[in-house]
Structure 1
């Protein structure tokens, strides 16, 4: 098993400052708030749900892409083949620090320097110029303060680009995780294209939860045909999963995609990344998914849901603040953990967000007033 503990990314052009994301529970874990975390080792817990909250164009999707990119990189994927490599756009050098726990080795730190090189005047690619890998036994971690501290004698490998048999855009950590990796389901690219991504005999209970009017969806492996049956209606033959959008609501399609992926992540103890979780869903469906990740009977292997949202009311599902990240875009994207700015327990999280108590979490008042004036005074003509 491998668990992410922290990622730090410095040098991305889109971001105003260094990105610092904790996956472990920084706040104290007590009996009344332990549903949101899973034990890692000793007194170290990891968050089961992590939320990225911000207004439109604040950089939520970009941050999710950074997280996905780092996970893929640690998994040994070649940089230039990673789907979300576009977060490196216009960046000449980036430093990535990834801290993670490996049951077979202990606590690990990977530091990678990635640079852009030019093949010619038009084409460029990214390579790993320098890299260090540290490993220490969990017995060396006496407290959370020790978790991220490594000594020189704990370096187990230094990249040597002259001697390495690896590709120049692949991490040395590949030698550590040949037979295991972080199980990742990245649904970022599904946000604006809501099509059924998989087909099969979906659990009837899931279909009923999403749309009670559906009696059954089945799949014939021999013919490749799917069948859709609504109560009190004739069965419909569907030759291509893409055609389901003609019969199913967008919420049902998104629900199947996300909940089936969640079930796979629960089984593996991996990571599910979803952008704009509330799109196509009503409040109860969104809350149900979040609660499943917080339920130890459902989420037995410590899987993590990482999602972005505009829906600040979702924050009120969280009893902890260290799994919520506020993102703003003021001459560059910046990220801040909610626990660093909201210490009072008597303030409702959604109200703090909507009232701009957190700063930069609602549209500017001046912009609101200008829009109001235009709506009052302008007449829109239809051609």
Structure 2
């Protein structure tokens, strides 16, 4: 299964009919096919990496939340314990499965009977066989046949269940907030779930802290840490004070990267630069671009303020620019902007080509007030 596209209305503060298309749209060079694209069917390419950029409060996190919402439906057939309202959300989700293109339409609602879960109303599913000769028409209405008489399910369960049958991890979401001392428990739970050996964790921790030679779980709240000259057993609360927040979050993030790459599911990261050196972020991006590492066609999707990261992208159609007026607007760089290929994207970012510059005049107003 691979998420291809989502069109959404009524989601948080996004403009209606917000469209995020994860299928390659512009010309595909041999270099792009080697690094920035993954091939899921003959002539059908999606991105190995994709990013959302913009200034604060422009909708970057909302874009990641929208994708997470879709992945929750495709992976768990449900949406629960989210921090946004469900009522009034309308989704059209396109996905790939076993040689078929599927279109799933639904409206979301909230019903206190089901707790903090979304309920699905007015659901319909359409399918059509994929042909490489019609790769540019996969989202067109022509050819789609509605699937009827699928059966009945509880209102909090999506009818996508009848297509995908079995729950699986479609994507993992890593946010910029952090989970404090609980991070270590989440870390080892992920390692156990995705069968990641402890020597991988040892290697990961050395990236962040060269003084630590080993890190093992004793129980849910205690951990054995091996240093060059001693071994200590520390509680999670002691550990959170000994390790930096960047190291703590970095351990979980890199283990999620490993799980994503080894199992082929996508990874969503909100504010990828938060607590991390730019070199580490560049390294994560490079792992998804390397087909010897990313052998199962995983996709990395992230939001960022690091405009220099844009220069790692040869393409433009896997970049979205977020802005805000009364509503958050998400525009594809390839479709909405006339970008000169000879100029660095980061330079164009600073030159306000994407209308993402910080409001300098308001900064000066604040300075003048402070001076008074």
> Normalised by the size of structure 2, how large is the TM-score?
0.88
TM-superposed CA distance for 1:225, in Å, is: 4.4
Work out whether 1:227 is the aligned partner of 2:261.
no
Where 1:6 maps in the other structure, the secondary structure is strand
Where 1:176 maps in the other structure, the secondary structure is helix
| Structure 2 counterpart of 1:45 | 45
- C-alpha contact 2:11 2:66 (8 A) present in aligned 1: no
Work out whether 1:55 is the aligned partner of 2:55.
yes
> Of 149, 156, 174, which residue of structure 1 is paired with 2:161?
174
> Of 95, 98, 109, which residue of structure 2 is paired with 1:100?
95
Question: Gaps spanning 5+ residues in structure 1: where?
Answer: 379-383
Residues 306 and 153 from structure 1, CA distance in 2 versus in 1: closer, same or farther, beyond 3 angstroms? closer
Residues 185 and 126 from structure 1, CA distance in 2 versus in 1: closer, same or farther, beyond 3 angstroms? closer
- C-alpha contact 1:191 1:276 (8 A) present in aligned 2: no
Q: CA RMSD, aligned part only?
A: 2.4
TM-superposed CA distance for 1:338, in Å, is: 1.4
| Structure 2 counterpart of 1:299 | 294
TM-superposed CA distance for 1:78, in Å, is: 3.0
Where 2:57 maps in the other structure, the secondary structure is coil
Residues 237 and 317 from structure 1, CA distance in 2 versus in 1: closer, same or farther, beyond 3 angstroms? same
Q: CA–CA distance in 1 between the matches of 2:238 and 2:204? A: 20
TM-superposed CA distance for 1:205, in Å, is: 2.2
Q: Answer with 46-55 or 110-119: which moved more.
A: 110-119
Where 1:75 maps in the other structure, the secondary structure is helix
TM-superposed CA distance for 1:179, in Å, is: 2.7
Work out whether 1:369 is the aligned partner of 2:364.
yes
| Structure 1 counterpart of 2:215 | 217
| Structure 2 counterpart of 1:88 | 85
TM-superposed CA distance for 1:75, in Å, is: 2.8
Show structure 1 runs of 4+ deviating over 6 A: none
Where 1:88 maps in the other structure, the secondary structure is coil
Question: Gaps spanning 5+ residues in structure 2: where?
Answer: 192-197
Residues 56 and 193 from structure 1, CA distance in 2 versus in 1: closer, same or farther, beyond 3 angstroms? farther
Where 1:258 maps in the other structure, the secondary structure is helix
Work out whether 1:198 is the aligned partner of 2:187.
yes
| Structure 2 counterpart of 1:381 | none
- C-alpha contact 2:15 2:329 (8 A) present in aligned 1: yes
Where 2:310 maps in the other structure, the secondary structure is helix
Q: Quick check: which has more Rg, 1 or 2?
A: 1
Where 1:72 maps in the other structure, the secondary structure is helix
> Of 138, 142, 148, which residue of structure 2 is paired with 1:147?
138
Q: CA–CA distance in 2 between the matches of 1:165 and 1:16? A: 32
| Structure 1 counterpart of 2:354 | 358
Q: CA–CA distance in 2 between the matches of 1:242 and 1:41? A: 48
CA displacement 1:247-302 (0-9 Å, x = unmatched): 21222211110110111111211111111111111111111011111111111101
| Structure 1 counterpart of 2:29 | 30
Where 1:101 maps in the other structure, the secondary structure is strand
| Structure 2 counterpart of 1:310 | 305
Aligned length: 357
> Normalised by the size of structure 1, how large is the TM-score?
0.86
TM-superposed CA distance for 1:192, in Å, is: 4.2
> Of 232, 237, 261, which residue of structure 2 is paired with 1:236?
232
Q: CA–CA distance in 2 between the matches of 1:16 and 1:153? A: 27
